[in-house]
């Protein structure tokens, strides 16, 4: 196969994929923030922004101990530019992903060639869960960025011994720790440590400058350590996780990550050793089967000692993947930060694949694309109530048709069929999801629907409270920490003369107080991050919707 004739960097198809990806990312900017996690993070950042207190993480005036500070500091800082708007919350994350794509390109270009570099960037930019994380923003875009920054610069430091790169790596390691804990540096430590052990480079393993890296990393994490110390360790009287004497520093350094892994911390879960094996099938679409092939090829080469390329990406990905698989606390988005490493592995495997391997992989890609197109067709047919916007129809028709043309044209280079056709189709599908599906979906998110109603009717925001209802989206949209009451501790006096957003059980509690009551609006909602077939099907959707109520109470 004439690989040397391929020029991804200047090709029309690469430009189509890149700008279509930007368009998809851009449409995700304006999708409502989803409950519960993303809206929680948006609200925590809003409260930091409003209060101006960047040291204490508070939720409705109560101390909050879970994720570290850096993500909230970044978002709160963005709110100063964009106020507490969707763009303020999501744009920094999208920029983080785009910079991650650039760093992935740079890493691959340094250790492989231009073809692998551009292909790795394309794979990362179009991986399904990377696209989703730009719409449903949590911590992962930042972790993805800091992971590839740290690995790139430590690799360059090992090659050049220039302290500048060691310093940048140390700062990135500290950023990882301050975003989600110490566990996050494992891909870098494993990638470097296992690579040096594999090469038996004892001189580099015992180099004194690793101590300098640890010192710089520690110094850069001092802001988070101080924040935890002054909020929690200085106040043993505070009740956190239903107990006193809770150390914020201990939680930061151990419980938040290692406690979850060993399942002995305050936050527990249950694990499946094959969870991430099958999660990769959809999270890394449309590149999942290529990923399995690439990892197998790389493993075989390392066993036979037939590869002379870098090993940082392989060891960094595999060690973290195996650790995640043995953990008792597993979520799909945990894989995102190591996707740049997997993208580089896949790019190299594709470029070096034989003609037979290309044909077989293309068959898997075709099957995947057919299934995806059937799935989105069914989704449009069963879910969609209104007609698609003209731009959605135009984007989908043009780029899916382009993909089909590339695949069917007799003079198309086989590698183009393997790479560009899946990229164009997945991006087209995600344009539909961000432009049509998610905006329609969030109409059933009662937490933001009630806020929209308050704004539309110009009701007094400071008179709103919730009863027996966990929400953060309303607080974010209305720029006010909405008071939340539980059924077992609410008093008649606390909710008198207020607008109450509540459930069926909350209505019964209100009735027990014998208030003069008026139901202002009934909302029909659904837990939109846990979809079911009955909800997707518009003919059965009404049967699974849960009513919630906006009630005006008297005295």
φ, ψ of residue 59 in degrees (nearest 5) = -125, 110
- Residues 76, 81, 87, 93: is their CA dihedral positive or negative? negative
Among candidate residues 20, 10, 8, 142, the one with its CA nearest the CA of residue 71 = 142
Across 2-11, 258-267, 507-516, which has the greatest mean pLDDT? 507-516
Render 522-538 in DSSP notation, one character per residue: EEEE--TTS--HHHHST
Render 492-554 in DSSP notation, one character per residue: HHHHTTSEEEE-HHHHHHHHHTT--EEEEEEEEE--TTS--HHHHSTTTGGGG-EEEEEEEE-
Q: What is the pLDDT of residues 159-187, one digit of tens each?
A: 999 999 999 999 999 999 999 999 999 99
Dig out the tokens for 57 from the structure.
């993480």
Q: How confident is the model at residue 327 (pLDDT cuts 50, 70, 90)?
A: confident
Asked if residue 192 has pLDDT above 80, the reply is: yes
- d(CA 74, CA 41) in angstroms, rounded, equals 11
Q: How confident is the model at residue 277 (pLDDT cuts 50, 70, 90)?
A: confident
- d(CA 90, CA 38) in angstroms, rounded, equals 10
CB neighbour list of residue 551: distance below 8 Å, 6 or more residues apart? 499, 500, 501, 502, 507, 510, 517, 518, 519, 520
Q: What is the pLDDT of residues 313-322, one digit of tens each?
A: 999 999 999 9
* β-bridge pairing 499-502 and 517-525: unpaired
- Report domain extents, the chain: 95-281+307-350, 353-443, 445-553
Asked if residue 263 has pLDDT above 90, the reply is: no
Render 343-390 in DSSP notation, one character per residue: HHHHHHHHHH--HHHHHHHHHHHHHHHHHHHHHHHHHHHHH--SPPPH
Q: What is the pLDDT of residues 81-136, one digit of tens each?
A: 987 788 999 999 999 999 999 999 999 999 999 999 999 999 999 999 999 999 99
- Residues 221, 222, 226, 227: is their CA dihedral positive or negative? negative
- d(CA 361, CA 355) in angstroms, rounded, equals 10
Q: What is the pLDDT of residues 442-452, one digit of tens each?
A: 999 998 999 99
Asked if residue 331 has pLDDT above 80, the reply is: no
Q: What is the pLDDT of residues 335-377, one digit of tens each?
A: 999 999 999 999 999 999 999 999 999 999 999 999 999 999 9
Asked if residue 269 has pLDDT above 70, the reply is: no
Return the bridge partners of 518, or none: 552
pLDDT at residue number 256: 76
* β-bridge pairing 62-63 and 58-59: antiparallel
Q: How confident is the model at residue 268 (pLDDT cuts 50, 70, 90)?
A: low
Q: How confident is the model at residue 7 (pLDDT cuts 50, 70, 90)?
A: very low
Asked if residue 10 has pLDDT above 70, the reply is: no
The model carries a pTM of: 0.93
Q: How confident is the model at residue 329 (pLDDT cuts 50, 70, 90)?
A: low
φ, ψ of residue 551 in degrees (nearest 5) = -120, 135
Average pLDDT in the chain: 91
60: left (phi over 0), alpha (psi -120 to 50) or beta: left
Helix (H) or strand (E) holding 137: none
Q: What is the pLDDT of residues 220-261, one digit of tens each?
A: 999 999 999 999 999 988 888 778 888 999 989 887 777 666
What number is the average pLDDT over the span 285-298?
A: 96
pLDDT at residue number 260: 63
- d(CA 456, CA 230) in angstroms, rounded, equals 41
Per-residue DSSP letter, 62: E
> By percentage, how much of the chain surpasses pLDDT 70?
95
> By percentage, how much of the chain surpasses pLDDT 90?
74
* β-bridge pairing 499-502 and 546-553: antiparallel
Dig out the tokens for 28 from the structure.
């995700």
């Amino acid at each position: 196969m004439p690989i040397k004739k391929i020029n991804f960097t200047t090709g029309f198809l690469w430009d189509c994929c890149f700008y279509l990806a930007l368009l998809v990312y851009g449409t995700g900017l304006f999708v409502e923030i989803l409950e519960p996690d993303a809206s929680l993070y948006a609200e925590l950042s809003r409260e930091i922004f409003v209060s101006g207190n960047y040291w204490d993480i508070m939720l409705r005036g109560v101390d909050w101990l879970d994720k570290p500070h850096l993500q909230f500091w970044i978002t709160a800082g963005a709110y100063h530019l964009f106020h507490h708007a969707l763009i303020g919350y999501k744009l920094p994350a999208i920029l983080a992903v785009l910079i991650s794509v650039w760093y992935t390109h740079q890493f691959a270009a340094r250790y492989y060639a231009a073809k692998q570099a551009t292909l790795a960037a394309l794979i990362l930019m179009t991986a399904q869960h990377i696209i989703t994380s730009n719409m449903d923003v949590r911590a992962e875009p930042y972790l993805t960025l800091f992971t590839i920054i740290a690995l790139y610069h430590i690799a360059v430091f090992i090659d050049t011994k220039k302290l500048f790169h060691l310093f940048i790596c140390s700062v990135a390691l500290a950023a990882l720790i301050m975003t989600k804990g110490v566990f996050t540096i494992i891909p870098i430590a494993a990638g470097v440590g296992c690579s040096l052990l594999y090469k038996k480079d004892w001189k580099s393993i015992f180099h004194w400058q690793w101590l300098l890296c640890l010192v710089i990393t520690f110094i850069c994490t001092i802001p988070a350590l101080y924040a935890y110390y002054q909020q929690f360790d200085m106040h043993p009287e505070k009740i956190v996780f239903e107990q006193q004497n809770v150390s914020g520093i201990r939680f930061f350094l151990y419980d938040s990550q290692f406690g979850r892994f060993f399942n002995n911390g305050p936050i527990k879960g249950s694990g499946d050793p094959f969870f991430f094996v099958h999660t990769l099938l959809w999270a890394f679409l449309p590149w999942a089967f290529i990923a399995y092939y690439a990892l197998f090829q790389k493993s075989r080469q390392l066993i036979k000692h037939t590869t002379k390329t870098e090993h940082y990406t392989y060891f960094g990905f595999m060690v973290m993947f195996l650790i995640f698989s043995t953990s008792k606390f597993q979520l799909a988005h945990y894989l995102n930060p190591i996707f740049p490493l997997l993208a580089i592995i896949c790019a190299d495997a594709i470029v070096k694949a034989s003609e037979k391997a290309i044909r077989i992989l293309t068959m898997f890609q075709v099957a995947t694309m057919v299934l995806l197109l059937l799935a989105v067709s069914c989704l449009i047919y069963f879910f969609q109530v209104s007609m698609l916007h003209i731009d959605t129809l135009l984007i989908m028709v043009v780029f899916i048709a382009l993909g089909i043309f590339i695949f069917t044209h007799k003079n198309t280079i086989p590698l183009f069929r393997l790479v560009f056709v899946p990229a164009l189709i997945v991006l087209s599908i995600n344009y539909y999801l961000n432009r049509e599906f998610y905006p329609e979906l969030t109409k059933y998110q009662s937490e933001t629907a009630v806020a929209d109603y308050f704004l539309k009717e110009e009701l007094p925001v400071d008179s709103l409270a919730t009863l027996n209802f966990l929400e953060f989206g309303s607080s974010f949209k209305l720029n006010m920490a909405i008071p939340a009451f539980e059924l077992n501790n609410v008093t008649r006096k606390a909710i008198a003369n207020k607008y109450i957003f509540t459930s069926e059980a909350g209505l019964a509690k209100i009735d027990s107080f014998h208030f003069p009551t008026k139901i202002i609006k009934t909302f029909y909602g659904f837990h939109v991050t846990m979809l079911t077939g009955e909800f997707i099907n518009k003919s059965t959707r009404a049967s699974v919707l849960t009513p919630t109520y906006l009630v005006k109470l008297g005295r």
